[in-house]
Amino acid sequence: MAYTQSTDYREEEINLARFAKALGHPARIAILKYLASLDTCCFGDIHKELPIAKATVSQHLAELKDAGLIRGSIAPPRVNYCIDWENWKKARKLFGDFWETENNDRPSPCCQ
Amino acid sequence: MAYTQSTDYREEEINLARFAKALGHPARIAILKYLASLDTCCFGDIHKELPIAKATVSQHLAELKDAGLIRGSIAPPRVNYCIDWENWKKARKLFGDFWETENNDRPSPCCQ
DNA sequence: TTTGTTGTTCGCAAAAATACGAACAATTTT
DNA sequence: AAAATTGTTCGTATTTTTGCGAACAACAAA
């Protein structure tokens, strides 16, 4: 953990930040969009979509799994991945609430 | 830049990832929520909200500014910050489209 | 002019993220 | 049993992120 454990961030901020961090790389965005458009697919198919080595793809998949956005299941000799729709919805709600601020139509008052 | 310059990510994926990365830390989420709820405020007020040193706050603000989500203006002896609503809306649209996948009501088919 | 207030920048350290090739494990095919 | 296929894990290197204190700059106040 990098940011000090000194309490002081709210649970919701931490959750939102965790999801955001998981989305914070083009490869992971691409993976999620791909999986969301399909239904399920195996590692190899995902790898084919990306311009990076398979070891790296594996790492990105692990991060998305840690964040709860995807799941994997072994189906020898393949490994299938798919969106975890339950958490997907939670994330969507968090982001929805976040962006949905009251004052969206205010112009930026300062800062020319 | 960490991810290889080897083309292959779409503009939209890169933009979305950039915004997501900016949101990928609780401190930055807290800053944005605070600014969004106000209108404008100065560095010191933001610093008071956070459990980290001012040098670190300054860094986070710089990152949010780089991402285009906030703006700053000098008003000696203060520096005011506020949301850049124009880019805020762009980001909201990007995220909205991203989460809004057709198949949200499908159960996860695989991966038990 | 000296002092105080307000933020940024610098220098540094530690940790995390990104990426790759090679080695490995598991299963299937031959 | 040997060989091929499919992914993960290991070891390593590089870059980026996070964080802090101290020094600095700009302006205001005394």
Residue nearest to nucleotide C8 (CA to C1'): B58
Q: For residue A108, is it within any domain?
A: no
Q: Is the pLDDT at A100 greater than 50, yes or no?
A: yes
| Contact, A27 CB vs strand C, < 7 Å | yes
Q: What is the pLDDT of residue B101?
A: 79
Distances, alpha carbon B50 to alpha carbons A104, B70, B99, in Å: 24, 17, 29
Triad B40, B46, B52: Cα angle to 5° = 160
Give the number of residues written for chain A: 112
- Decide: A18 and A9 in contact? Cβ < 8 Å: no
Q: For residue B69, is it within any domain?
A: yes
Which phi and psi (to 5°) does residue A9 adopt? -105, 145
Q: For residue B76, is it within any domain?
A: yes
Are B26 and A13 within 8 A, CB to CB? yes
- Decide: B107 and A85 in contact? Cβ < 8 Å: yes
Q: For residue A106, is it within any domain?
A: no
Q: Residue A38: pLDDT band by 50, 70, 90 thresholds?
A: confident
Q: What is the pLDDT of residue A6?
A: 41
Q: Residue A7: pLDDT band by 50, 70, 90 thresholds?
A: low
In this structure, of A6-15, A17-26, B7-16, B63-72, the range with the lowest mean pLDDT score is A6-15
| Contact, A24 CB vs strand C, < 7 Å | yes
Are B99 and A107 within 8 A, CB to CB? no
Q: What is the pLDDT of residue B63?
A: 98
Domains in chain A: how many in total? Answer: 1
Triad A44, A50, A53: Cα angle to 5° = 75
Distances, alpha carbon A26 to alpha carbons A90, B7, B25, B51, B88, in Å: 21, 11, 17, 30, 19
Q: For residue A102, is it within any domain?
A: no
| Contact, B111 CB vs strand D, < 7 Å | no
CATH code at position B82: 1.10.10.10
Q: Mutate one of A25, A59, A66 to test the B interface: name it (highest B CB count within 10 A).
A: A25
Q: What is the pLDDT of residue B66?
A: 97
Q: For residue A107, is it within any domain?
A: no
Among A88, A82, A84, residue whose Cα is nearest residue A42: A82
| Contact, B27 CB vs strand C, < 7 Å | no
Which residue has tokens 């159960």?
Answer: B107
pLDDT in tens, chain B (112 residues): 343 334 689 999 999 999 999 999 999 999 999 999 987 799 999 999 999 999 999 999 999 999 999 999 998 889 999 999 999 999 999 999 999 976 655 555 555 4
Which phi and psi (to 5°) does residue B106 adopt? -70, 140
Average confidence score pLDDT of chain A: 88
Per-residue pLDDT of A55-73, as tens digits, reads 999 999 999 999 999 999 9
pTM summary value: 0.89
Give the mean pLDDT of A16-44: 95
A72 is in which domain, residue-wise?
Answer: 12-96
Q: For residue B101, is it within any domain?
A: no
Q: For residue B107, is it within any domain?
A: no
Residue nearest to nucleotide C9 (CA to C1'): B55
